[in-house]
Each structure stands twice: as structure tokens, then as C-alpha cells.
């Protein structure tokens, strides 16, 4: 290879390796996926003042703490008294960040009921309900909770107590109404998109896949890493890893989403972090002489419970819940395929280089261990 070509490839390798390491570094800032709940029900549609709604809103305390100081004594323990003391600020937050409109006319919040604390999926949630007066039926929601703080935040909206009228919404403005928010097709579409989104923003799940994928282009011979000669062998390994992970998390996702098995969320999130650390450590110091597909299956069972957090406690009938589950699972697989399609070709291209061996495989695995252990202590304690 001529000197100019060597230099060109040298800079290409450095650039791709840098992208990998920046991606891993970004993962360290991961915030567990957050979900809020809003239920809208018409109380009186024939009122002379307009349409009267009852709204119920739930936001996890860990998300509320990003917006309002609910731990003023900094003891890392949020008490009911501390939350209640911020009632005025909480009501201002809801009023300013959750705006429901009809034909551009803002609905008015007429009264708040006393605050309460609920538990969902093992996490504590602030519960508040309030009355809304609208001139006409609501046709738009402008939801701005955690804007600029957590782009991964999602709102699960139900309307009028109808099991089929459910949407999974991002932060921002969204049109509402029967055509936009009800029907089987809407549920399937919403949860398909939610599954893709959940996988692609679930940085712990992506990091786990990453540490399983990066060794797929290597074989171990006499304790040495040797790049596979033919791409077909690596492709088959990736296929079996993805299939194993899919099968495993589908089992536990189904059990948890249908509420057959319940595992505390804090425990699951902590063990997911440990699974990443163990898989990455196994890259550096092979402790289990097993193929990655077996690790993908065993730890995939744990990750399935993590995926299920989005579907737990949804106000859906059994048939609608099964549809949401199937759609969400398909979305997860699509998101997984997108991630593999980005990572694997780069790994295949660089498998013979020192940049990949030392900059991505060894350094990437080491950084993954440190990130995962940070997550574990953050989540467990």
C-alpha cells in the first residue's frame, strides 16, 4: 500500500475509533427511561361554561426532583412532608408545562385536589388530579415536562377511560381526538414506535449489546485474539447473539407485561448494570468458556424485565395489552437491528487493526465496566 493510502486509512481508523469511544462516553450520562401518566375524563359535557374534564397526572419523584427541590435537607431521602411543602410549586409546574387546548383556546385549570404518592413499577410517583374547563372538547396537548433536561421522557396518555384510547407521547405538542388516539391500529403503531425508541435510548441495553458484539469479529486461539478470516463467521455469530437475546428478553418481557411475574424495578435496573460489567469483564478476562450467545440469553432474561417497565400498570384490557406487548417487542427488535447495522460493519472493517483491538475492544470493554459499575452503585444505593 502506498504512503498516501496508508495515511488515508490511518486517519479513517482513528476517526471511526474516536466515534466509538465518544459513543461509549455519552452512555455514562444515561438517565433511566422516565415515564409519566396523564388520564383525561369528561366530567360534564353540557356545562354552560363549556366542557369540564377531570385530569389525573403522575410523575416519578426522581423526575420531579430534576425540576423542583424536594429534598431541601440533602439527606437523599424524600419524605412526604418535603413533597407536600412544595405543593404551590408543583401546581405551578403542572399549570405551565401541561397545556391542553381546543381550537387554540387554552383550557383553564379550575381546581387542584390534594397531592398523593403512588407506586408504579417499584418507583414512587407524585399523584395529582385537577379540574379543567374548556370551551370545546380538547384537541391538542402541549406537554413540556423535562424539556431540555431529559429528551427520553415519555407521557402515556389515556382519554375518557376508554381502554383503546391510549397514546405514548414524547415531549412537545401533539394533536388529540378520537382519530389520533384510539383504535387497535393506533395502539399497535404507538407501541411499535415506543419499542424502537425505548431500545435506542436505553443506553444500558445498547451498552450490553455493544460488549457482546465487539468480540464477534474475533476468535480465541491459544489465549490470543485472532480476527476472523471470513465475514460469514462473524455474521453467523451476530445472528445467534441477536436471536438469543431476543428470545430471552421476549420471555421475561411477556411475563412481566402480563403481570404474571413481578420483580422490583430497582433490583432489575441494578442487575442489568452488573450484567454489562460482567459481559465486558469476560471480554478482557474470559471467566466463562462459553459463547456470547449463552451470555446473551441468560442476561437477556434480566433485560426483558427492564423493557417491561414501560408496559407495567397500563390501563389496558387484556387483548389490548397483548397487542401493545407484541408491537412493543417488534419495535425493540427493529431498534436492535438498527444498532447492529451501525456497529457491526465498523467492527468488521476494523477487525484486523490495532485501533480496533486496543482502542475499541480492550479500551471499550474497560470503559464499559466502569460505566456499568457507576450505574450499579447509583441504582442500588
> What does the domain layout of the chain look like in residue ranges?
3-30+193-380, 35-182
Q: Which residues contact 86 (CB under 8 A, 6 or more apart)?
A: 68, 69, 70
By the 10 Å C-beta count (0-12 exposed, 13-18 middle, 19+ buried), 220 is classed as: exposed
Burial code of 339-364, b = ≥16 C-beta within 10 A, e = fewer?
bbeebbebbbebbebebbbebbbebb
Q: What is the reported pLDDT for 288? A: 72
**What is the distance between the alpha carbons of residues 381 and 371, in angstroms, rounded to a whole number?**
16
Q: What is the reported pLDDT for 111? A: 92
Q: What is the reported pLDDT for 218? A: 92
Q: What is the reported pLDDT for 380? A: 84
**What is the distance between the alpha carbons of residues 158 and 137, in angstroms, rounded to a whole number?**
15
Among candidate residues 66, 1, 21, 98, the one with its CA nearest the CA of residue 355: 21
Q: Cite the beta strand spans of the chain per DSSP E.
A: 35-47, 50-60, 98-102, 105-106, 108-112, 116-120, 123-134, 140-143, 154-159, 166-170, 172-175, 218-221, 224-227
Say whether 130 sits in a helix, a strand or coil. Answer: strand
**What is the distance between the alpha carbons of residues 98 and 359, in angstroms, rounded to a whole number?**
46
**What is the distance between the alpha carbons of residues 57 and 50, in angstroms, rounded to a whole number?**
22
**Cell triple for residue 75?**
439527606
Q: What is the DSSP string of 15-54?
A: HHHHHHHHHHHHHTT-----EEEEEEEEEEEEETTEEEEE
- What's the length of the chain? 381
Q: Count other C-beta atoms under 10 Å from residue 225's C-beta.
A: 16
**What is the distance between the alpha carbons of residues 205 and 32, in angstroms, rounded to a whole number?**
11
* Residue for grid cell 465496566: 369
**What is the distance between the alpha carbons of residues 237 and 212, in angstroms, rounded to a whole number?**
10
Q: What is the reported pLDDT for 125? A: 92
Q: Count other C-beta atoms under 10 Å from residue 70's C-beta.
A: 20
Q: What is the reported pLDDT for 374? A: 94
Q: What is the reported pLDDT for 25? A: 46
Q: What is the reported pLDDT for 58? A: 94
CA 264 to chain centre: 17
**What is the distance between the alpha carbons of residues 179 and 157, in angstroms, rounded to a whole number?**
14
Q: Cite the beta strand spans of 154-223 per DSSP E.
A: 154-159, 166-170, 172-175, 218-221
The region, left, alpha or beta by phi > 0 then psi within -120 to 50, assigned to residue 252 is: alpha
Q: What is the reported pLDDT for 29? A: 44
Are 19 and 358 in contact, with CB atoms under 8 Å apart? no
Say whether 59 sits in a helix, a strand or coil. Answer: strand
- pTM of the prediction? 0.76
Q: What is the reported pLDDT for 12? A: 53
For the four alpha carbons of 141, 54, 89 and 37, in that order, the dihedral sign comes to: negative
Output the tens digit of pLDDT for each of the chain's 381 residues.
555 555 554 555 555 555 555 444 444 444 455 789 999 988 887 777 788 999 999 999 989 999 999 888 887 778 889 999 999 999 999 999 999 998 778 999 999 999 999 988 667 899 999 999 998 888 899 999 998 888 778 898 888 654 446 788 888 888 876 544 456 787 888 889 888 888 888 888 899 999 999 999 998 887 788 999 988 889 998 999 999 999 999 999 999 888 888 888 788 889 999 999 999 999 998 887 667 888 899 999 999 988 887 777 677 777 888 888 899 999 999 999 999 999 999 999 999 999 999 999 999 999 999 999 999 998 887
Measured CA angle at 124 (ends 381, 59), to 5 deg? 120
Give the helix/strand (H/E) hosting 241: helix 231-257
Q: Count other C-beta atoms under 10 Å from residue 116's C-beta.
A: 14
Q: What is the reported pLDDT for 27? A: 46
Amino acid at each position: 500500500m502506498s504512503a498516501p493510502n496508508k495515511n488515508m486509512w490511518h486517519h479513517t481508523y482513528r476517526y471511526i475509533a474516536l466515534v466509538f469511544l465518544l459513543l461509549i462516553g455519552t452512555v455514562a450520562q444515561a438517565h433511566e427511561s422516565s415515564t409519566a401518566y396523564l388520564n383525561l375524563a369528561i366530567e360534564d359535557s353540557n356545562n354552560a361554561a363549556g366542557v369540564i374534564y377531570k385530569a389525573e397526572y403522575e410523575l416519578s419523584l426522581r423526575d420531579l426532583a430534576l425540576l423542583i427541590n424536594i429534598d431541601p435537607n440533602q439527606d437523599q431521602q424524600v419524605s412526604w412532608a418535603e413533597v407536600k411543602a412544595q405543593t404551590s410549586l408543583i401546581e405551578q409546574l403542572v399549570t405551565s408545562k401541561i397545556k391542553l387546548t381546543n381550537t387554540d383556546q387554552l383550557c383553564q385549570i379550575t381546581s387542584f385536589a390534594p397531592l398523593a404518592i403512588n407506586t408504579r413499577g417499584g418507583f414512587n410517583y407524585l399523584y395529582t388530579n385537577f379540574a379543567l374547563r374548556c370551551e370545546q372538547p380538547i384537541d391538542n396537548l402541549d406537554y413540556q415536562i423535562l424539556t431540555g433536561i431529559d429528551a427520553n421522557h415519555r407521557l402515556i396518555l389515556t382519554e375518557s377511560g376508554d381502554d383503546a384510547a391510549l397514546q405514548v407521547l414524547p415531549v412537545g405538542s401533539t394533536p388529540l381526538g378520537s382519530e389520533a388516539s384510539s383504535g387497535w391500529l393506533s395502539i399497535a403503531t404507538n407501541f411499535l414506535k415506543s419499542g424502537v425508541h425505548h431500545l435506542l435510548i436505553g443506553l444500558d441495553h445498547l451498552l450490553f449489546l455493544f460488549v457482546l458484539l465487539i468480540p464477534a469479529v474475533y476468535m480465541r486461539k491459544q489465549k490470543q485474539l485472532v480476527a476472523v478470516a471470513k465475514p460469514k463467521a462473524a455474521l453467523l455469530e451476530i445472528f445467534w447473539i441477536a436471536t438469543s437475546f431476543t428470545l430471552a428478553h421476549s420471555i421475561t418481557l411477556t411475563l412481566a407485561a402480563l403481570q404474571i411475574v413481578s420483580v422490583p424495578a430497582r433490583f432489575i435496573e441494578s442487575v442489568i448494570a452488573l450484567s454489562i460489567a460482567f459481559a465486558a469483564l469476560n471480554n478482557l478476562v474470559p471467566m466463562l468458556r462459553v459463547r456470547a450467545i449463552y451470555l446473551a440469553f441468560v442476561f437477556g432474561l434480566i433485560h426483558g424485565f427492564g423493557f417491561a417497565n414501560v408496559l407495567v400498570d397500563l390501563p389496558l384490557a387484556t387483548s389490548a395489552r397483548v397487542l401493545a406487548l407484541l408491537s412493543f417487542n417488534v419495535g425493540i427488535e427493529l431498534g436492535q437491528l438498527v444498532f447492529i447495522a451501525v456497529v457491526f460493519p465498523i467492527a468488521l472493517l476494523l477487525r484486523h487493526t490495532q485501533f480496533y483491538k486496543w482502542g475499541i475492544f480492550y479500551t471499550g470493554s474497560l470503559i464499559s465496566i466502569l460505566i456499568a459499575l457507576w450505574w450499579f452503585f447509583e441504582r442500588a444505593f
